[in-house]
Amino acid sequence: MPTIEDYKGQTPAWCPGCGDFGILTAFKQAVVEMGMEPHQFTIVSGIGQAGKFPHYLKCNTFNGLHGRTLPVATGIRLSNHVMPVIAVAGDGDCYGEGGNHFIHAVRRNINIKLFVHDNQIYGLTKGQASPTSMEGMVTKTQPFGVFSEQLNPVALAIALDCSFVARSFAGDTKHLKGMIKEAMTHKGFSLVDIFQPCVTFNKINTFEWYKKRVYQIEPEYNPEDRVEAFKRALEWGDRIPIGVIYRNHRPILEERVPVIAEKPLVRQGFDKSKLEKTLKEFY
Amino acid sequence: MDYSIKIGGEAGQGIVTIGDTLAKVFSRKGYHVFTHQDYESRVRGGHNFFQIRLSDIPVMASRDKIDILVAFDKAGIQLHEKELTGSGIVIYDSSALKETHDKPNFLDIPFANLALERGGDKIMANTVAIGAVLGMLGVDMDILFEIIGDTFKKKGEDVIKGNKDSATAGKEYAMTHCARCSFSPAPQSGPKMLINGSEAIALGAIASGCKFYSAYPMTPSTGIMNYIAGKEKEYGIIVEQAEDEIAAINMALGASFAGVRAMTGSAGGGFALMVEGLSLAAMTETPVVIALGQRPAPATGLPTRTEQGDLSFALYTSHGEFPRIVFAPGTPEQAFYLTNKAFDLAEKYQIPAIVIFDQYLADTQWTYEGLDLERIRYTDYRLRGEALQKLPEYKRYVFTESGVSPLAVPGDSKHLVVADSDEHDEDGHLIEDAETRVKMMDKRLFKKLPLIVSEIEPPVLYGSSSPETVIVGWGSNYGLMKEAVDILSKEKSIAMLHFSEVYPFPHPPLNPLPSREGRQTVPSPLAGEGQGEGGFMSTLCNAKTAICIENNATGQFARLMRAETGYEFKNRINRYDGRPFLLEELVGKIKGIIG
């Protein structure tokens, strides 16, 4: 059985007190409890503080470009669909630069697990507004406050009929670990949007701010009711729900691609013997 | 014999189907065929044409004179009547065009009425036209009947019979009414292969073991995706239509990281979006092949037309410095072998390889006796399965003598595979220190580069071995240049130098390679057979006149040549109106320079 020690990676270069530490802890606990070994899965990350995540663990890693986690993850997963593929991104990474990829990855319903470190600010570039920054937030680059409507990733995902939509909070690692495990075991594209306080640049959405507002969705809630889910997704302000907000059982892409019905693409080898016949089709 | 047939009409009238069918009949009959297409960016209307040349000797370019013009619209006659040879004939249907031409070289054939009377449906008018062309040429109907049988198998016997009868009606009508027809094609034996550039690139990818192709549709690259998608099941390939070209290249890189050979393709505009991914491929040392189909730009440009305007773009685009390969096949045959070589070298050296082509090559069909599968390279350079499991340790970017670190398949063993777009250490983890940075740059760039250069073949020399005139070009102008040499050789000492492996630039003996210590001379294996001691550079330097021929405005290859060798062309022939050169035109322009 794997242990937390097996997952010890590089020393994090995050700011002391960063919400990312909570995510790292919860993630390690989740995979250890699930009995997953570091070599058995791949994490794809982008750029931003979240992009460094896999380096602070031990696992197969593709740390690609800003916004491009999901296309890379899609390519990996289609080529080897027996290997779990996890995408880790920040809010700017996933909902800004990679917004188009997010929409289409959800549509494909490829069985990728997407964990978004959502701190509602740009950390790596030192404090500009992100797509999830609240309207009115003043930053160095938005001196008059953010004019744009705050992007609601949970509502967007439900609108796209995303197979699994959850929200959690880095300040509650027990809850977060649970959400990670549920996402990992769900069959279908899974989004966990994680409130992750940025202690350096986001002076509004602090640990305290989240702690005061988040509440765990009651056990009797039915996440398979899309209309109810949409209502929950729109809750913002004094009370913000965390937990599994929406879930469905759409067929996954990997099961619909006939080419990989029997075995993963990467194990199929290359059979040259058909080429003669193919060449004949040109005569 | 050397006949040219042009079929002109509106988009949606079936011009391409007629052209394809005739080309197939001729190639199966054993003729050498060359076809090219000219179409507008619209699905209906406008004016398009399809031109076929057939001969008893190899042909590889379109001529500017035509022998038979099949006109399906008035524009077809207005635009192309002047291209007829002295004995050339126009066939048309006066009832469809609502105009009559009383000239002796016009033959009015009631395509629609014959189709209705003999085939039972006006829709078969195009089959009547095909039959008429074959009747005029005196070519048997047997192959056409085979094709009709195959094409309409699912539509049933009545449709097959209707089409055969329509074709026969067209043939009989032409034979009875075409008093001026004096075509006498020499009979040939043995069917030939008929293949266009897109199909050849796609086939080259499949023959290289490509398992993953992701792209966003864009002319002129879509043909590659279509062909590979048709072979998904047979060869176990996944074709994924991406949401944009950025996703397309990133998906391909993901697939390659996961352990399969992967490719993407687009036109210049889509490749522009892929550029950050090109750099990602370089930094992560993830093999990928990119098909780049040029069309006239900037921006949307002339979407369905041809140009060689993206060479500099392919050579130099991207942030950062890294090795890449750029191959520019001149023919479908070269496209097949060079796509294969691109896959091989991309994986061997873990670099991006670009196959640059254009609309002209994509859509021109050539005939061959066959393609040689023995020439296909296939080595799986990846470390996978047991071989990987047995290793005591593994580091994705371990420093080696060659700069190439073993490329392992993630998930195949206990060893972790870590790839990073940040500068990284041997394990793949991000670093900031200067020493590692320099060692990694040296590994990726300076260690690999001489090895990659040693794989590059010199240009093809065709014609005189000590020519007074050398015409130089790259990519799709191969056929035109070669035929121009054939024509001009009768009175001039002339040769062609054609570059298809354009980058890294084929290494002439006098051309030093960049290295850490500056530009260094590396012993070159590339003197080039039949090119004398000094290789192609001495052929060029010893010629009285050298002319660089390109389908672009500024002479991008000429600039590359100057940058790489110091050689400066004094003469250039450039065409940048979105159309390919035609043979007689090119010959005329060369004569204009050499007298």
Long-range contacts formed by B71-74: CB under 8 A, 24+ apart: B71/B8, B71/B9, B71/B97, B72/B7, B72/B8, B72/B9, B72/B10, B72/B13, B72/B15, B72/B96, B72/B97, B72/B129, B73/B8, B73/B9, B73/B10, B73/B13, B73/B47, B73/B97, B74/B99
CB of A49 closer than 8 Å to CB of A194: no
- Write out pLDDT tens, residues B422-445: 999 999 999 999 999 999 999 999
B contact residues 308-367, partner A, Cβ 8 Å cutoff: none
pLDDT surpasses 70 at A161: yes
Q: How many other C-beta atoms are found inside a 10 Å radius of the C-beta of residue A83?
A: 20
**Is residue B356's pLDDT more than 80?**
yes
Contact at CB, B280 and A65, closer than 8 angstroms: yes
With a CB-CB cutoff of 8 Å, which residues 110-169 of chain A face chain B?
none
pLDDT of residue B61: 96
pLDDT at A196 > cutoff 70? yes
Tell me: the pLDDT tens digits for A78-116? 999 999 999 999 999 999 999 999 999 999 999 999 999
Phi, psi values for residue B39, rounded to 5°? -140, 155
For the CA atoms of B95, B97, B103, B105, what is the dihedral angle to 10 degrees? -100
A177, pLDDT greater than 50: yes
Q: Which residue, A40, A64, A38, is CA-closest to A51?
A: A64
Task: For residue A66, give the amino acid letter.
Answer: H
Q: What is the pLDDT of residues B497-553, one digit of tens each?
A: 999 999 999 987 555 566 776 655 544 444 344 444 568 998 999 999 999 999 999
Q: Are B70 and B14 in contact (CB under 8 A)?
A: no
- Say if CB B534 and CB B508 are below 8 A apart: yes
Structural domains in chain B, sorted by start: 2-177 (3.40.920.10), 195-375 (3.40.50.970), 385-453 (no CATH), 460-594 (3.40.50.920)
Q: At B582, is the pLDDT very low, low, confident or very high (cuts 50, 70, 90)?
A: very high
B373 touches chain A (CB under 8 A): yes
pLDDT at residue number B184? 86
Please judge whether A75 and B254 are an interchain contact, meaning their C-beta atoms are less than 8 angstroms apart: yes
The residues, ordered by sequence, that sit 6+ positions from B18 with a Cβ below 8 Å of its Cβ are B7, B50, B70, B126, B129, B130
Q: Chain B window 120-139: which residues touch A at a Cβ cutoff of 8 Å?
A: none
Closest to B39 measured CA to CA, from B65, B10, B72: B10
Across the interface, whether the CB atoms of B232 and A259 are under 8 A apart is answered yes
Of A54, A76, A268, the CB nearest to B257: A76
Q: Between B207, B258, B419, which is nearest A61 by CB? A: B419
pLDDT band (50, 70, 90) for residue B41: confident
List, as one string, the DSSP characters of A99-157.
HHHHHHHHHHT-SEEEEEEE-SS-TTTTS---TTSPTT---SS-TT---SPPP-HHHHH
Average of pLDDT values for B289-298?
A: 98
Position B180 confidence tier, pLDDT thresholds 50, 70, 90:
confident
State which residues form the domain around A110: 4-280
Residue B182 has pLDDT above 90, yes or no: no
Instruction: Please answer yes or no on whether A72 and B254 come within 8 Å at the CB atom.
Output: yes
Question: Is B391 at the interface with chain A, CB within 8 A?
Answer: no
In this structure, the strands spanning A240-247 and A164-169 are antiparallel
The answer to whether A64 contacts chain B (CB < 8 Å) is yes
Q: Are A102 and A131 in contact (CB under 8 A)?
A: no
Contact B413, B390 (CB under 8 A): no
SS3 assignment, position B363? helix
Comparing CB atoms, the residue among B193, B209, B414 nearest residue A270 is B209
B564 secondary structure, DSSP code: H
* A104·B371 Cβ contact <8 A: no
Long-range contacts of B294-300 (CB under 8 A, 24+ apart): B294/B220, B294/B267, B294/B268, B294/B356, B294/B357, B294/B358, B294/B359, B295/B219, B295/B220, B295/B267, B295/B268, B295/B358, B295/B359, B296/B576, B296/B578, B297/B268, B297/B269, B299/B269, B300/B269
User: What is the secondary structure of B274-332 as a DSSP string?
Assistant: HHHHHHHHHHHT--EEEEEEE-S-STT-STTS-----HHHHHH-SSS----EEE--SSH
Residues near B37 by Cβ (< 8 Å), separated by ≥ 6? B16, B19, B48, B49, B50, B51, B363, B364
Average pLDDT over residues A144-158: 97
B375-434 pLDDT, tens digit per residue, is: 999 999 999 999 999 999 999 999 999 999 999 999 999 999 999 999 999 999 999 999
B422 touches chain A (CB under 8 A): yes
Number of domains in chain A: 1
Mean pLDDT of chain B: 94
Q: Do B258 and A74 touch (CB under 8 A)?
A: no
CB–CB contact A257 B238 (8 Å): yes
What is the CATH number for A40?
3.40.50.970
Q: Is the Cβ–Cβ distance between B332 and B200 less than 8 Å?
A: yes
Averaged pLDDT for residues B248-254 = 98
Predicted confidence at residue B309, as pLDDT, reads 98
The mean predicted confidence, pLDDT, of chain A is: 97
Lowest mean pLDDT among A96-110, B112-126, B191-205, B527-541: B527-541
Considering only CB atoms, A265 lies closest to which of B211, B234, B420, namely B211
Does B276 reach chain A within 8 Å, measured CB to CB?
Answer: yes
Strands B571-574, B545-550: parallel, antiparallel or unpaired by DSSP?
parallel
Stretch A150-156: mean pLDDT: 98
Residue in chain A nearest B234 by alpha carbon: A274
Instruction: Decide if B262 contacts B255 (C-beta within 8 A).
Output: yes
Joined tokens for residue A58: 């031990």
pLDDT digits (tens, 9 = 90+) for A206-258: 999 999 999 999 999 999 999 999 999 999 999 999 999 999 999 999 999 99
Mean pLDDT confidence for B363-382? 97
